[in-house]
Every structure is written in structure tokens, then in C-alpha cells.
A and B are shown apart, each in its own frame.
Chain A
Amino acid sequence: MADADLGEGRRRALPEWVPALARILGTVAVTMLGLMLITFFIGRVVPVDPVILVIGDRAPKSVYDRTFIELGLDKPIWQQFLIYLGQVFQGDLGDSFLTKRPIISDIARVFPATLELATVGILIGTLFGVPLGVFAAVRQGKLADQVVRVVGLIGYSAPIFWLGLLGLLLFYARLHWIGGPGRVDISFEYSFTNRTGLMLLDTAMQGEWAAFRNVVGHIALPGALLGYLSMAYISRMSRSFMLNELGQEYITTARVKGVPERRIIWVHALRNAAVPLVTVIALSYAGLLEGAVLTETVFSWPGLGQYLTNSLQKADMNAVLGCTLVIGTIYIGLNLLSDLLYTLLDPRVRRRT
């Protein structure tokens, strides 16, 4: 059948992508192993007795001893690590020490909340950050540049929980423009079914527009805050990348040739500045996906950041390791993605590989 053709095609393609893939997989494996190793040992070194956190302070000795063995703490630490690794290879992140629920299902529950919030944040951050950065670069040294700088600095240095609480006080408690803590009002909680865990998507797909509006009202402030935070960073970086490009000779050439200024900025310069900018945006996104602990706490957002912090405080090592793996995967995945985008944006990279 077509097998023969395929096989031939694959053989021809082999030298092209196999080493590249092997290199990527190798990097992923080493990074993950290192991550797990460090997290695991830090978790075991902290002076906290995980058994007490599981059974509470009052349990009698028999319960303590049994739990100690159930958690595998009687084995040497390297053996505990190997057992854990074995589980992970079978796709099992283990059960929470505390709730005995599978970590996988816990993460599947909390991650969509963070994903939704981070995506809204990065969209706002990019849509506003890039144009602001370009604008500041074009008007370098002028008043507009200074204004953008100050706006960025405030976003960069104001504590987010303070901004969050202040925002809640103003827009929620005083003006009633937006929803309060949580992802949706209780009155809408049962008006749609949870399919993706992304409430904006779920409500929109099911045509529950009243619920959709409510969800928008809830995500607006935390999303805008995270957006502001990443906008501050992205606009600073866009500005400096743009300044770098605008000083290049090809820009001068273009100007001499009479290319309209708008085209020079938005097409010629920005296209080149976009290459490093993609990495900046990808890493900002990864940072947001890690779960913004403070934002999630202030807004009672049941996401990854809150889950990770709670697990850390309760020394629930399996949960912490599971989250670490997820976050590591996100970073590596987004890094790979930005590498891929490089090749799309920069023909030279494409030709070289």
C-alpha cells in the first residue's frame, strides 16, 4: 500500500528532523529530571513532619506510625525518589498526601482557571504593551515616552495584591461594575455545564450569554491586572527592541527611498523587532501560567498558584512535584513554540536549519 511511499519519504526526512527531535527530547528529559530531583530533595529537607500535616496534631501514635509507613517515609530518601520516578513514567503523578485524590485530577481541576486568567492577561498585555512600546520608541525622549515609562514603572513596582484589593474596593464594592471574588456568581453557577473548565468558552459555546457576561465581569479585574503587569514588561522590551531596529541602516535606506514612516515603523522595524519579542511574550505567558499566587488569593481564584501554595504549606510533596512538572512542561513547551515562531518570522533562521 502507501506504506512503501511513506517509508521512503521518512527515510529521506530522517537526517532533517530526527536529531532535532532527539535533541529536544533530551533537553526536556534532563530538565524534567533536574526539576524533580531538586524539588524532591528540597521537600524532604524542610524541617516539617509531613505526617502531622496529614493526620493533624491530635492523632494517636498508632495512626501516626501507620501513616508514616503509608507515605513511604520509612524507606531511604533515594528509594522514595526512585519509586516516585517509576510512577511518573507510568503517567501517574501519585495521590495527594492530604486528600488521597489523584494529583492528575486535582491539576486538571485547577489548571483551566489559571489558563483562562493567564490567557486574558497575556492578550491584554500584548495588545497594549507592543503598540505602547513602539509608540514610546518612535517618540523617544519626548513627553509621550516619559508617560509610557511611568505607566510601565507603576505596573512593574506596585504590589499586585494591593492593586487588586484597591480595584475590588473601587470597581466591585463602590461602583458595582464588576463581579467580586471567584470566577462566577453563584446564581449562574448551574446555568451551564463545565466542559473545558474555561468558563468564557463554556458559556459562549452553550450560548449562555447572561452567564458569559457574568464570567467576563469576574475575570475583568484580575485579567486586567495581570495584563497591566505583563504590559509593563512587554512595552519596555518592545521599546528597546524597536529603538535598536530604528537605528539600523536599512531604516535609513527605506526613509531615503521615501517609504511612508508608518510603513517603516509597523512593517520594516516591527517585523524585525518581533523576533526577540516573541520570546519575551512567551516567557511572560509562562510566568502567568505558573499561577499568580497573590492575584489568585485576593480574587479567590481556584487556580494552580493557590493549589501549589496550599500544597507547599501542607508539605504535600506529591502535589508540589506534580505542579512543578506541569510548570516545567509549560516553560519548555512555550520555549519550543517561540523557537518555532522564530523560523516563521525570520527567514534567515529558516534557511540555516
Chain B
Amino acid sequence: MHYSRNLLAATAMALSLFASPQVQAETPADTLVMAWNIDDIISLDPAEIFEFSAAEIAGNSYERLVTYSNDDVSNVYGGAAESWTVSDDGLTLTFKMKEGKTFASGNPMTAEDAVYSLVRAIKLDKSPAFILGQFGLTPDNVEEKIKLIDPMTFSMTMDKAYAPSFVLYCLTATVSSVVDSKLVKEHEVDGDWGYDWLKTNYAGSGPFVIREWRPSEAVILERNDNWTGGDTPAMSRVIYRHIAESAAQRLALEAGDVDVARNLTPEELEALKSNPDIKLQQGAKGAIWYLGMNQKNEYLSRPQVREAMKYLVDYHTIADTIMKGKVTVHQNFLPEGFLGAIPDEPYSFDPAKAKELLAEAGLPDGFSVTMDVRSSGDTPAIAEAIQANMAQAGVNIELIPGDGGQVLTKYRGRAHDIYIGQWGPDYQDPNTNADTFAANDDNSDDAAAKPLAWRNAWQDEGMTKITRDAVLEGDAAVRAKMYEDLQREWVKTSPFVVMFQQIEVQALRKNVEGLQIGPSFDTNFFYTVTKD
């Protein structure tokens, strides 16, 4: 008797302690809080950043030499650079820097900083360095190729007369961000170009300053009062909170603890539509979903089979009912928003047509293959739908789940039958995708370059040549036409089934305005955000 009463009292006391009511949360008026899975960040150094979330952070805290308009990607203009000229032989670009720019540290920005930043990126040779390296810049020659002319002017000399549009789009990438050379040099240790320091610190001139990065917890940015690129941002602080679980993101958004949720599932987005405090906004991103068919497989290497597979995906049903608007149907390798992108949709779900093609290939009863599937995110759901679609023509697919590293290792070793995955462009120029989907210079097992075409053991010399020629075509309109023609041919014969383009959908509190969704994560801007 006594025990039970004592126990009850103790329980009640403990519960009342924990249940101390908290006021309904709301983020401060001058602070934007975003819930996002930021586990992918490994570095905050622009010479190394190659991940979505880090790229977005850099895009808001550093200034790049060249930038483009989010509304019209073909409108390329100067960021840190004021203007540029191309030499008559087409080999040298000369950049003039904008006057009066100052870094957050107070140091003035000059051409010296730009030269330092580009040389540094090439010398460090981290993952994104190849974007600049494409122009014949190597750690050994970069100091001769990129030269200071006067305090506000510098030049860059290339090994070939590349199309100016190609070069300029590459210079919009995060890797071309201008770092504060004076500040970084203060932190150099043993000629490391300040790499150890800048990985977790900040030396930029953008609208926001990176104040702190706590891995798997938060990234905190504060307004940079030295920034001159536009009106003073209304937000004095922007916080990314790492919330891995999408359901928890939704709860935090609805409770008002965060202003924006970035990783919601299609179902959660659907459910939020009925909440009057929440609104959704979206924008097309460069990532595309595709199937890669390994040409080492005896069935998949038959041309009719490759074509048949393109009739065996129920594109619109998957986009509308499974992905609920997080993707849009897109069937070629250049995503909407790129120079030369075409909206053609030559394939639709047609099992009868596919069966005819399979019969022509000598497989009237279909065949069996495996498909490697990452067991995270939206991939399993899409893969299962495709499995059901393909079964309608007798193509039996065995799904092999694995984690990202496993699946990728197998794919890069050309040991798969079919790979399903996403591909995001590395920079805003069409060459990034043409180079990987259409070109393959060497199909041998120990090739130096391993583009997606190589991974699927596919080589088309004609298309490889067109891809190589296109980067040298100076006239942007002619160049665009080259990519259009290339894609129309490619979509028919390639071993790729491009299905969707990614749509980024953000869920925001009603009072948040002006959050920009660009075509790439490094052009998602929040310096225009207001809250009322």
C-alpha cells in the first residue's frame, strides 16, 4: 500500500518537473533558421567545397569572379570582376576587378587576391580544382598562366582557345571564389596555403560571414557589414540547424522553431499544404535522375534492348504520385536552365512497343538483370516502381540495396547491370554533363578518366568528338545548337534512361519572404530574405 502511494507521488513529481511548460517558440525577428541535413559538409574552404550544403554556404559568404542571374542563366555578369576582354588568339582572358570592394576582415580586395585564390585552388588540387584545370592549368604552370598585370587587373592564359561562354560559366563555380589573401597568408603553415585553417574558418567578402561550424549540429552566419553587392540584408544572423530526420524537421517547422525546412519527404510536403502558417516554394535544380545500363551485360548491350528500356518507365506516374512534384519529367542529359537544354520528351510508357523491340533483339520473353539501389532517400521508391513497370514487358529486375559507398564503388568498378541514381552538374556549363554522359576517350578497364559513359562501358567516337569540339566553339548560339543536336542523337542510342530533373521544394513559415532558389545550390541566396 505504502509503496504504491509513494511511487505515485514520486512519479507525479517527476512528471511535473519535466512537463514545465515552455512558451510557443518563435525564432528572433532578425534571424533566419533553416533545418537541413548538413552532414555532407567536410570543409568550408572554397578550394575544396564540392558538397551541396557547403556550396550554398559559400555562395552566401564568398564572392565569385563571375556570376549569373537566377532568372536567366544566360545572363552572365561580373561578381568580384568588373569586366573582361578576350585576346585576339582567344587564349588569354584579362579581368578587371571591381573598385572599392572590401573583405569582411577590412582588407581591400584587389587583383592580387583573385590571382592568389585561383593559383591556390590549382595548387591545392582538391576535388573541384579540375573545373579550372580544364583550361590547361596545372600546379606546375599555374603561376605563369595566371598573372597580375596591375593592382586591379590580371590575366589568365589557356592551352586552347576555349569558348568564352565555357570559361565564364566555369568561373561562376565555388572554386573561383575570391579569398582574402592577406588573411589566409597569416595562417599559412609549411606552405599549406592556409588549408588547415580555412577548412573551418572564413576569409571572404560575401553578404554573410561564416561565424561557426559545429559538425552535425549547426552552421552560423552573421551579416557582413562590409559587403557592397546590394542592399543591406535584413537578417543579421542565419543559422543552419542539422536535423537529419525529416519528420523532426516538419515538427520543428510547425512549432516555429525553424523558419525553413529543407529535407521534407513528398508525403510531409503534401501534409503541410493544409497548414495555414506554412507555405511551399520550389525551383528546378540541375540534378537529373537516370538509369545507367552496363554494356558489359549481354542483354543490355543490344541496341533494341537499350531503346526498349526507355519505353518501360512510367515517367509521369512516378513524378506525380511517388515523388509528388519533387521531380519533373526530363529525358535528356542537359537539365532545364543550361545552355543547349531541350524540353523534348520522346519516350512514354509503352510496354507493347517495348515488347516489339525486345522481340527484334531476340528476347520475346524478356530477360533478367539486377539493379543496384541506394537504400536511402527517394531512390528505393522510384526503383520499385520501375521494377513493376519493366515486369510488364517481361524484364525481371532484381533490386540490390546497398549504402551509398557500396553502390558507388560497384558502379565505378563497372560491376553492375543497371544503376539508378542522381547526377548533379559540377558547374553551370553544358560541357559538365556532355563530358560525362556523351564522351568517352578510352573505354579500356584502366582508363585515366572514368566518366559515366565509361562506367557503363559505352563509347561513341562521333559524340565524343562533338563534345570536344563544342568547348572550342566561340559563338554561344552555334554552341547551343551543337548540344541540342548532340542530345537528340544521344537520347536514341545511349545506354542511359534519363527520367527526371530534380525540383527543390522548401517549406517556409508564412512570414519568410525573399529566399531565392537558384538552379544550383551555390545560387540559393538569403541576403534578400525578410521576415515580418
Contact = CB atoms under 8 A, between A and B. Distances in A.
Contacts of A253: none
B408 A98 contact: no
B216 A302 contact: yes
B243 A181 contact: yes
A291 B39 CA distance: 18
A97 B448 CA distance: 24
A179 interface: yes
Contacts of B409: 47-49, 52
A60 B4 contact: no
A313 B404 contact: yes
Interface centre among B22, B130, B252, B406 (most CB of A within 10 A): B22
Given A52-B409, A177-B21, A58 B426 contact: yes
Contacts of A171: 19
Contacts of A180: 25, 248, 251-252, 255, 257
A180 B130 CA distance: 42
B2 to A, nearest CB: 7
Interface in A59-79: 59-63, 66
Contact of B50 (A58, A62, A186): A58
B241 A182 contact: yes
- A interface SS class: helix
A58 to B, nearest CB: 6
Contacts of B50: 56, 58
A114 B198 CA distance: 29
B4 A135 contact: yes
A169 B23 CA distance: 16
B257 A185 contact: yes
Nearest to B51: A56
A52 B245 CA distance: 25
A48 B413 CA distance: 11
A179 B254 CA distance: 13
B130 A313 contact: no
A320 interface: no
A176 B255 contact: yes
B236 to A, nearest CB: 13
Nearest to B257: A180
A300 B127 contact: no
A186 B42 contact: no
Interface string B247-282: 110011011010000000000000000000000000
A166 B129 CA distance: 46
A93 interface: no
B475 interface: no
B70 to A, nearest CB: 24
Interface string A178-215: 11111001110000000000000000000000000110
B187 interface: no
A255 B125 CA distance: 81
Contacts of B239: 186
Contacts of A25: none
Which of A55, A59, A181, A307 has the most CB atoms of chain B within a 10 A radius of its CB? Answer: A181
Most B-side CB within 10 Å, residue of A61, A106, A124: A61
A155 B226 CA distance: 56
A63 B127 contact: yes
A214 to B, nearest CB: 7
Q: Choose among B23, B33, B129, B409 the residue with the greatest number of A CB atoms under 10 Å from its CB.
A: B409
B28 interface: yes
B53 to A, nearest CB: 13
B39 A310 contact: yes
Contacts of A297: 244-245
Given A178-B22, A185-B257, A172 B241 contact: no
Q: Which of A62, A299, A307 has the most CB of B within 10 A?
A: A62
A307 B28 contact: no
Interface stretch (A8-16, A26-34, A216-224, A332-340): A216-224
B359 interface: no
A165 interface: yes
Interface string B18-48: 1111111101100101000001001100000
Interface string B383-423: 00000000000000000000111101110100000000000
A173 interface: yes
A220 B408 CA distance: 40
B404 A185 contact: no
Given A182-B241, A298-B245, A172 B255 contact: yes
A303 to B, nearest CB: 9
A132 B199 CA distance: 52
Contacts of B130: 58-60, 63
A132 B7 CA distance: 8
B469 interface: no
B215 interface: yes
B4 A144 contact: yes
Given A53-B405, A56-B127, A135-B3, A214 B248 contact: no
A101 B215 CA distance: 11
A213 to B, nearest CB: 6
A62 B257 contact: no
Contacts of A173: 251, 254-255
A119 B57 CA distance: 36
Interface in B423-478: 426, 448-450
A314 interface: yes
B287 to A, nearest CB: 13
A84 interface: no
A110 B215 CA distance: 9
A62 B129 CA distance: 11
Given A59-B127, A176-B21, A181 B248 contact: yes
Contacts of A224: 18
Interface string B193-207: 000100110000000
A101 B44 CA distance: 13
A163 to B, nearest CB: 13
- Taking each of B21, B254, B405, which has the highest tally of chain A beta carbons within 10 Å of its own beta carbon? B405
23 contacts: A56-B127, A57-B412, A60-B133, A63-B129, A99-B199, A109-B214, A109-B215, A124-B14, A127-B10, A144-B4, A172-B251, A173-B251, A179-B25, A181-B241, A186-B27, A186-B28, A217-B20, A224-B18, A299-B248, A300-B243, A300-B245, A300-B248, A313-B403
Closest 8 CB pairs between A and B?
A: A48-B405, A220-B18, A59-B127, A49-B409, A302-B217, A181-B248, A300-B243, A173-B251
Given A57-B412, A181-B257, A300-B241, 13 more contacts: A47-B410, A50-B405, A57-B408, A59-B127, A63-B129, A128-B11, A176-B24, A182-B243, A186-B33, A221-B18, A297-B245, A300-B244, A302-B216
Interface of B: 2-4, 7, 10-11, 14, 17-25, 27-28, 31, 33, 39, 42-43, 50-51, 125-127, 129-130, 133, 196, 199-200, 214-217, 239, 241-245, 247-248, 251-252, 254-255, 257, 403-406, 408-410, 412, 426, 448-450
